[in-house]
Amino acid sequence: MKTAMETITVLGRRFHPVWLRDNCLCPLCREPGSFQKTVDIGALLRSGGPTPAEVRLVDDVLIVDWDENPAHRSVFPVSWLLAHAYDPPGEPQLVEPEIHWDASAWAVAPPDSYRIDDCDPDHGPWTDDLMRYGFALLEDVTEDSLDRFVGRIGPVLETEFGHVIKIRSEPDATDLALSGTELSAHTDFSAHMHTPPVLQFMLCVEQEATGGASIVVDGFRAAEKLRNDHPEHFARLAGTPVNFQQFYADRRYFHKRSRPLLEVDRDDRVTGVFFAHSHACNWVLPPAEVEPFYAAYHAFFDYLKDPAYQLRIRLTAGQCMVLRNGRMLHGRTAYDPTSGGRTLVTEFVAWEYFEARRRFHQYRDLYLGPQQPGTPG
């Protein structure tokens, strides 16, 4: 640890005194139960502070005594500082690299599956698969056990169809999903303006019809392939909003949303894929841009339709696919409703609740102290 003129350096990470004082962990500066900040250092800033009077590193703890009246001391575990470092940024507690995949990844070893009764909604192997691959497969699932399981992750999302959606062929279907028609790979809620990114559970209740295999595509893998093969197409899809719409005559809703098909962060890393060909309505483009956009759109669509990028699973009763919507696209092959029943039950929970549960277990020791053996997770 060393002190520079304006920063305090701990194991190669620099911390400004203002940041340290603002993030003081003591009970006077944070509500002890929630760890929410109560300190307002505006007065210190206006008077030229905060100013460290003494800085010590003792037994992996940074102690800062501030030049204040009354005297104030901040105590920071080094582990907490490294987890919250910003210059340069620290590594997360648990590094979870995404594994982008195509069909060849599953040619040798099919995806693992997990009995729902053996799964913890907060963490465990099924959540590891979900973080890495964007999907997981659960077994021995019933409608009741699924509802309980999803509800333990977070509030179940209420939709136009209720919080539980049954997908099966219906006479005079008002949605392609409610027919036996083939569904190309797509993301859900592309036309909904304010629906959050969701975690999607698709439980097979009945699978007796001819056809109807489920299709899963890693949208991030397809997007990176497009970027590699056709960088100009990738840039166009990332920068051009597409209008999506969903018209429900029976429910009297007409959803509309404008968004790019590919979402990237400031580092140009793909963070979202939103594609639903049956809901893509139009796009506002100058005439000279129409043909280049169609070329980009269908170049990406071709990857999604290519079996080389698809995982195909004929679900059996009791199997449940869990998908990160916004990365994973899903669809199905056509099926004949007259050949037997096919029923899937779908539920959603906001993706942020899943992430927040998992993050809690990553960082809990920084706030609650080390977990003792035998303590519930």
Q: What is the pLDDT of residues 156-200, one digit of tens each?
A: 999 888 899 998 888 777 778 888 899 999 999 888 877 889 999
| Contact assessment for residue 256 and residue 243, using Cβ atoms and an 8 Å cutoff | yes
Confidence (pLDDT) at 2 = 47
pTM of the model: 0.85
Cβ of 298: how many Cβ atoms within 10 Å? 12
Which residues in the chain show pLDDT less than 50? 2-5, 372-376
Confidence (pLDDT) at 196 = 82
Which domains are assigned to the chain? 2-83 (3.30.2020.30), 103-358 (3.60.130.10)
Confidence (pLDDT) at 3 = 47
Structure token digits, residue 302: 């071709």
Confidence (pLDDT) at 373 = 45
Q: How far apart, in whole angstroms, are the C-alpha atoms of residue 82 and residue 92?
A: 9
Q: Please name which of 338, 342, 329, 348 lies closest in space to residue 163, comparing C-alpha atoms.
A: 348
Which ranges constitute the DSSP H helices of the chain?
A: 17-22, 42-46, 78-83, 125-133, 143-153, 219-229, 231-239, 287-305, 351-368
Which ranges constitute the DSSP H helices of 262-318?
A: 287-305
Instruction: Return phi, psi of residue 3, to 5°.
Output: -110, 120
Structure token digits, residue 329: 């696209």
Q: Tens digit of pLDDT for each residue in 252-266?
A: 888 888 889 999 998
